[in-house]
Amino acid sequence: MQNTWIISMRELKERLRSNSFWAMAIIGPILVLVVTYLLFALGGKHKTHWNILVTDPSGIMQNKMMASEDASVSYSFADNYLEIEEFAKGNRFQKFDAMLEVNEKVFSNKVAFLFYREKPSTKMETKIQYQFEKRLEEIMVGQFTELSIADFRKIKQPIQVGFRNVYDPKDEASDLSGWVGLFFGGVILLFIFLFGMTILRSISKEKSNRIVEVLLASVKPRQLMLGKITGIGLSAIIQFILWVVLIGVGLYFMRANLFPDLLDASKMDVVQMTEAMRNQTLQQQMMSAREYNDFVDLVFERINYGSMLTYFVLFFIAGYLFYGTFFAALGAVSGSESDGQQFVIPLIFLLILALYGGYYAMENPASELTTWFSFIPFTAPAVCMVKLSQGYPEGQGYLLIVSFFILLLSSVLVLSIATRLYKNGILQFGHRLGIRQLIKWSSKK
Amino acid sequence: MLKLDSISKSFFQKLALDDVSLSINEGEIFGLLGPNGAGKTTLIRVINRIIEQDKGTIRFKGELLNDKHLSRIGYLPEERGLYRTMQVYEHILFLGRLRGMSKADVRTNYNYWAEKFGMENWEKKRIEELSKGMAQKVQFVSTVLHQPDLLILDEPFSGFDPINIELIQQELIEMKAKGKTILLSSHNMKSVEEICDRVALIHQSKKILEGSVSAIRDERKTGNYAVRFRGSMIAFVNALWTGFELIDKEILGEDRFVAHVKMRGENNFQDLLQTLLGQIQIEAAWEVLPSMQEVFIQEVNQ
């Protein structure tokens, strides 16, 4: 155990010393920030004025939304219940861009739905959500409490507006939140690939410069392999923390300077949400993920960073172990560096399949194949991130844990096969690697 | 010190070691000889527990060899490398720690060797900045740093420059004097003759010869003698007459030669000297034993 640690610390130091590590730590977050900025900037070029019909049979809103006029959005009120289909197809409703459905349940479940004809921009979603939330606060304070609005805001629960396509109202998956999951899943796969290749190169190098035999006289092949995977994995986690910090600072800067109008959207809520999330148990965090990461103001307000990052790290570790052992075994069995690269191609295909699995899960959240993908270790890291960001249906949160443990157990299993390959291949030099050899080496203890 | 009993090892149907038994005594330098592919490196890897034998047992100081003994063994493989981007001291510390040394012990022992090998100012140098000879010293120091009782060197003289070969030979002799046991495999028969007490010859996975260097050479002597003299070669040949046969000669100078002579009939060394006295000016005369190189070739070709 101690030797594994010594090996991993050496590996970590070597990574931290390399220029490529620091280049990636800077270029990666910058790319993410640029893409995020572009998405925001482009997202602002949607329809400039929104005409919204509020159906309010109980008269909750009292035919009013804002004290003052807003140039970009106007509300009309109907005091009767309206079928979605009627709104979608009825001629007299065509002048409205969206319908906001409000009924008495909003006081208990804090959810209302907006059915749009054309998807509003993130900015517009934020605005509608914000205005609706503020109006409801006034009403609730006036009707139910003696508190001031400021005091009430400290204790209230955030209101969630579900944005749905009026032509496809049952589609509960938010494409935006799905993209967040796919982004996180994609980052996991990217990290697995980059650091997996680092494992492979590092082992090939040790083989070619023949330090490996000196090491094997003091440590077991398994310790050597684990130490290497651990050390490089730790460097990946450090890299990831750097990404989080740099992207976090970048987003903060963007929010404060580039998109100040987003700042309106109740900063207090964020504090409240993060505070609440911190105190929540895992189960509750998953619930929060379900409640908060839908739609509006996705990046700044609605992603549950607490649970996304937690599961990101867990799935990254398990996924990295799973794939990392393949890379390590491949590095050990290859006769030359080019040999290893040739056998990396199937691994790259698997990673691409995993990415596709994530995309498929985003597009077809309820499909049976998505469920299978979330259990198959090769595709689980990306698919589970997408599923997590979309929110597991109530009562099915445990499926995420199941996926995680399947992945973890598979890693342990793969590790034992990889150890055999590593042990039998590491001291073989200059051969041409073939499938038959791989089978032979993996079967010999 | 080390006793190998019927060690066999095969790699997927290919037999690499076939029932090899060896006994290495404490405080001796033991040479493991054999042509390429004979199984020497496999045997050395088995002793280092890098690979496991299929059959047979190894005893280290009377105990069955196990992982805890590894910290008492130092191993310099034939194909040896270092991490090129690491600094010298950092590298030595890394390997020392893997052998179970504390940081303080690494420091103390490193200082000793650094002074001995003139490596005092190398600590912060990166391995890639070192010359090949300097890197070889670092490799040797990292092998002996933990003061192993048994030092195993696979082809220690291959790739080393003559100055380092001399340096390492001296170190090995010094270590032997301190009671350390050394097992080395080598193709350098001159070095084997000079420093090994006993040797074993492995050929086609089997041990075909084991014994002390002097006994092995003595057993194979052919009754040849060499005489270094001043005078005329013709006079020398005439003096030999029919009792002896000149088989070889080396010209050292205008009137200075070394002649190799084979005895005929019942004649012996004494007779040879008497025959030559007065004819030439004898500087030295000695019995010619086969070199280890000759023994090696002879045994392998048999």
B247 and B173 within one domain: no
Whether residue A163 lies inside any domain: the answer is: no
Is the pLDDT score of A260 beyond 60? no
Between residues B292 and B103, the one the model is more confident about: B103
Residues B245 and B116 in one domain: no
3-state secondary structure of B27: coil
Contact A214 B80 (CB under 8 A): yes
Same domain for A11 and A100? no
First to last CA, chain A: 21
- Judged by DSSP in three states, B256 sits in strand
Task: Look at B81 and A216 and tell me if their CB atoms are within 8 Å.
Answer: no
Rounded to 10°, the helix B132-144/B162-177 angle is 10
By C-alpha distance, the chain B residue nearest A211 is: B81
Please indicate, yes or no, whether residues B177 and B242 belong to a single structural domain of this protein.
no
- Please check whether residues A438 and A419 belong to one and the same domain: yes
Q: Show which of B192, B218, B244 is a domain's final residue.
A: B218
For residues B94 and B63, membership in a common domain is answered with yes
For residue A223, the SS3 value is: helix
Identify which of A96-110, A194-208, A245-259 has the greatest average pLDDT. Answer: A194-208
Please give the pLDDT value at position A281.
Answer: 43
**B50, B82, B97: residue with CB nearest A211:** B82
Tally of domains within chain B: 2
Residue of A nearest to B52 (CA): A445
Nearest by CB to B48, from A10, A210, A217: name it: A217
- Contact (CB, 8 A) for A195 and A346: no
Q: Where residue A170 falls among pLDDT bands split at 50, 70, 90?
A: low
| C-beta atoms of B85 and A14 within 8 A | yes
Specify whether B202 is located in the same domain as B224: no
Together in a domain, B236 and B189: no
Alpha helices in chain B (DSSP H): 40-47, 88-98, 103-117, 132-144, 162-177, 189-195, 213-219, 233-240, 269-276, 292-301
Alpha-carbon distance of A166 to A307, in angstroms, equals 30
Residue range A295-314, pLDDT digits in tens? 335 555 556 777 888 888 89
In chain A, the largest separation of any two C-alpha atoms, in whole Å, equals 84
Q: Which of B218, B236, B261 finishes a domain?
A: B218
Q: Is residue A115 part of a domain?
A: yes
Q: What is the pLDDT of residue A242?
A: 93
pLDDT band at A292 (very low <50, low <70, confident <90, very high): very low
**Span B138-172, pLDDT tens digits:** 999 999 999 999 999 988 887 777 888 888 889 99
A438 touching chain B per CB within 8 A: no
Torsion of CA A174, A177, A182, A184, to 10 degrees: -160
Looking at the complex, report in whole angstroms how far the Cα of residue A4 sits from the nearest Cα belonging to chain B.
9
Residues of chain B with C-beta less than 8 angstroms from the C-beta of A213 = 45, 50, 77, 79-80
Contact B99 A209 (CB under 8 A): no
pLDDT tens digits for range A131-163: 888 888 888 888 777 777 777 777 777 777 888
Mean pLDDT in chain B? 89
Same domain, A355 and A243: yes
Contact B51 A427 (CB under 8 A): yes
Residue A120 is classified by DSSP as P
Q: Is the pLDDT of residue B279 over 70?
A: yes
- Please tell me the predicted confidence (pLDDT) of residue A92: 87
Query: Which positions in chain B touch A6 (Cβ < 8 Å)?
Result: 94, 97-98
What mean pLDDT do residues B19-40 have?
91
CATH of the domain at B38: 3.40.50.300
A124, pLDDT greater than 90: no
Give how far A392 is from chain B: nearest CA, Å.
47
Q: What is the pLDDT of residue A64?
A: 82
Q: Are residues B106 and B152 in the same domain?
A: yes
Instruction: Report whether pLDDT(A276) > 50.
Output: no
Task: Measure A388 CA to nearest chain B CA, in Å.
Answer: 42
Is residue A368 situated within a structural domain? yes
The mean pLDDT of B3-14, rounded to a whole number, is 88
B260 and B198 co-located in one domain: no
Give the pLDDT score at A182.
86
What are the residues facing B226 on neighbouring strands? B260, B286
Nearest chain A residue (CA) to B42: A427
Taking residue A435's Cβ as centre, other Cβ atoms within 10 Å add up to: 8
Residues A195 and A329 in one domain: yes
Residues of A in contact with B75 (CB under 8 A): 214, 217
Quick check: B12 and A440 in contact, CB under 8 A?
yes
Indicate if the pLDDT at residue A261 is higher than 60.
no
Residues 305-344 of A with CB under 8 A from B: none
Which residue does chain A place closest to B68, by CA atoms? A218
Residues B43 and B185 in one domain: yes
A440 vs B: CB within 8 A:
yes
Spell out where A253-303 has E strands.
none
Please indicate, yes or no, if residue A169 is contained in any of the structural domains: no
What would the mean pLDDT of B6-32 be, rounded to a whole number?
Answer: 90
pLDDT of residue A262: 45
Residue A265: its pLDDT value, please?
Answer: 41
pLDDT of residue B291 exceeding 50, the answer is yes
Residues A54, A33 share a domain:
no
Same domain, A119 and A191: no
Query: Does one domain contain both B155 and B288?
Result: no
Instruction: State the pLDDT at residue A259.
Output: 57
- Residue B3 pLDDT > 90: yes
**Between B12 and A82, the higher pLDDT residue:** A82
Contacts of B45 in chain A (CB under 8 A): 213, 427
Residue A17 at interface with chain B, using a CB cutoff of 8 Å? yes
Q: Which residues of B touch A206 (CB under 8 A)?
A: 81
User: What are A425-443's pLDDT values in tens digits?
Assistant: 777 766 666 777 777 777 7
User: What pLDDT is recorded for position A142?
Assistant: 80
Per-residue model confidence as pLDDT tens digits over B90-130: 999 999 999 889 999 999 999 999 998 888 889 899 999 98
| Confidence (pLDDT) at A299 | 58
* pLDDT attached to residue A303: 66
Quote the pLDDT of residue A284.
43
Contact A21, A239 (CB under 8 A): yes
Cβ–Cβ below 8 Å for B80 and A219? no
Q: For residues A12 and A142, state if they share a domain.
A: no
pLDDT of res. A68:
74
Say how far apart CA A414 and CA A326 lie, in whole Å. 8
- pLDDT at res. A171: 56
Cross-chain residue pair A217–B51, CB shorter than 8 Å = no
A336 belongs to a structural domain:
yes
Q: Residue A425, exposed/middle/buried by CB under 10 A (0-12, 13-18, 19+)?
A: buried
Same-domain check for residues B196 and B293: no
Above 60 in pLDDT, residue B60? yes
Residues A382-411: tens digit of each pLDDT: 998 888 887 777 777 788 889 999 999 999
Whether residue A286 contacts residue A392, with contact meaning beta carbons closer than 8 Å, is answered with: yes
- Give CA–CA dist B299/A102, Å, rounded: 100
Q: What is the pLDDT of residues B214-232, one digit of tens each?
A: 898 888 888 889 999 999 8
Percentage of chain A beyond pLDDT 70 is: 82
Q: What is the pLDDT of residue A238?
A: 94
Q: What is the pLDDT of residues B83-93, one digit of tens each?
A: 988 999 999 99
Q: Do B98 and A3 touch (CB under 8 A)?
A: yes
Q: Which of B218, B234, B261 is the last residue of a domain?
A: B218
Q: State how far residue A313 is from chain B, nearest Cα, in angstroms.
A: 30
pLDDT at residue A221 tops 60: yes
Please report whether residue A204 resides in a domain. yes
- Band (pLDDT 50/70/90 cuts) for residue A236 is very high
Q: Which residues constitute the domain of residue B97?
A: 2-218
| Distance of alpha carbon B232 from alpha carbon B253, whole angstroms | 11
Q: What is the pLDDT of residue A278?
A: 47
Tell me the pLDDT tens digit for each residue of A197-213. Answer: 999 988 888 888 788 88
**A44 located within any domain:** no
Domain that holds residue A192: 2-39+175-443
Task: Give A13-47 pLDDT, tens digit per residue.
Answer: 999 999 999 999 999 999 988 887 777 666 544 56
Yes or no, beta carbons of A217 and B70 under 8 Å apart: yes
Q: Looking at the structure, do residues A141 and A245 belong to the same domain, yes or no? A: no
Mean pLDDT of chain A: 80
- pLDDT level of residue B258 (50, 70, 90 thresholds): very high
Write out the two tokens for A27.
């270029």
What is the number of structural domains in chain A? 2
Q: Are B112 and B177 part of one and the same domain?
A: yes
- Tell me: the pLDDT tens digits for A334-383? 777 666 677 788 889 999 999 999 988 888 877 888 889 989 999 999 99
Same domain, A332 and A405: yes
Q: Does A217 touch chain B (CB under 8 A)?
A: yes
ipTM over 0.85: no
Q: How confident is the model at residue B299 (pLDDT cuts 50, 70, 90)?
A: confident
The answer on A215 and A71 residing in a single domain is: no
Asked if the structure places residue A183 within a domain, the reply is: yes
Q: Quick one: A97 and A207 in the same domain?
A: no
> What is the distance in angstroms between the Cα of B226 and the nearest Cα belonging to chain A?
45
Tell whether A33 is within 8 A of chain B (Cβ): no
Rounded to a whole number of angstroms, the distance from the CA of A445 to the nearest CA of chain B is 10
Closest CA to B250 of B275, B284, B274, B219: B284
Statement to judge: residues A23 and A54 lie in one domain: no
Cβ distance of B94 and A214 shorter than 8 Å: no
What pLDDT was estimated at residue A295? 35
| Chain B interface includes A154 (CB < 8 A) | no
DSSP annotation of B33: E
B47 to chain A: nearest residue by CA?
Answer: A217
What integer pLDDT is reported at residue A104 of this predicted model?
A: 80
Distance between CA A232 and CA A317 in Å, rounded? 11
pLDDT of residue B47: 93
Q: Enumerate chain B positions whose Cβ falls within 8 A of a Cβ in A.
A: 12, 45, 48-51, 67, 70, 73, 75-77, 79-86, 94-95, 97-99, 139, 142
- Average pLDDT over every residue of A234-254: 89
